[in-house]
Amino acid sequence: MHHCHQSALPRRSALLWCLGVPLALWGCAQPPAAPSSHGLLQRTLWSGRLALQVEGYPSRSFIAAFELQGNAHLGSLQLTGPLGQTLAQLHWNPQGARLETGHTTEEASSIEALLERDTGAPIPVVALFDWLAGQPTAIEGWSTDLSAIAQGRLTATRFSPEPHTTLRITFEY
C-alpha cells in the first residue's frame, strides 16, 4: 500500500483537490428511513449529494455524489464525480481509517483525524450519523438545521472555532 508523504498543505487538501467539481452539480440523495410501528428504523446506507465548504486561507469547497454505508464506528464512503468516476473511497473501523484517491492512499488513527487532516476542519462523525437519522444531536461550535429533513435536506455549520465550515447534504426518497 502506498502512503502519501507530502507537505502538510498538499496532504490536507488532497481530498478537496480530488473532489473539486462545480457547485452547480448539487443534486439529490436518500433520506433516513421512515419510522415504522416499532420506532425509527436503523439505517445503514445513504446516497445522494454533499457539499463541504471550509472558509479560511485558502478557502476550500467541493461537491460530490456519495454512497455512505455503516455507522460512525465501522463504515465506508465513496465519492463520485459528475460522470460517475470514483473520486475517493474512505473506509474506517475502530483500528483506524484509510482514504484512497486515485493512486494515493492515506491512513490515520480514526475517521475524525483523517477527515480533519484532509478537509482542514473537524467533522463530528458520530453526530453526523445522528443528523442523518433526524436526531438533533448538539455539538459545541456547530449548529444544525434539520427542519427540512423530511424533504431530504440537512445543513450543519461550524461557527466556532475557526475555520467556519458548512456541510450540506441533500436526500431523495
The domains located in the chain, with CATH, are: 8-170 (2.50.20.10)
Percent of the chain with pLDDT over 90: 59
Residue 172: CB partners within 8 Å, gap ≥ 6? 28, 29, 30, 31, 48, 152
Q: What digits encode the pLDDT tens for the residues 19-59?
A: 443 332 333 333 333 333 333 446 788 999 999 999 987 88
Supply the pLDDT for residue 172.
65
Residue that is written with C-alpha cell 468516476 in the block: 85
**Reported confidence tier of residue 173, pLDDT bands at 50, 70, 90:** low
What's the predicted TM-score (pTM) here?
0.74
Residue 155 has pLDDT above 70, yes or no: yes
Strand partners, 15: none
Cβ atoms of 62 and 22 within 8 Å: the answer is: no
| Spatial distance between the Cα atoms of 139 and 37, rounded to a whole number of angstroms | 30
- CA dist 144 to 58, 84, 98, 100, 108, Å? 24, 29, 27, 29, 27
Q: What digits encode the pLDDT tens for the residues 116-153?
A: 998 888 999 999 999 999 999 999 999 999 999 988 89
Strand partners, 144: 156
Supply the pLDDT for residue 56.
85
Give burial (CB, 10 Å; 0-12/13-18/19+) of 74. Answer: middle
Supply the pLDDT for residue 2.
39
Supply the pLDDT for residue 42.
65
Amino acid at 141: G
Residue 80 has pLDDT above 60, yes or no: yes
Residue 71 has pLDDT above 80, yes or no: yes
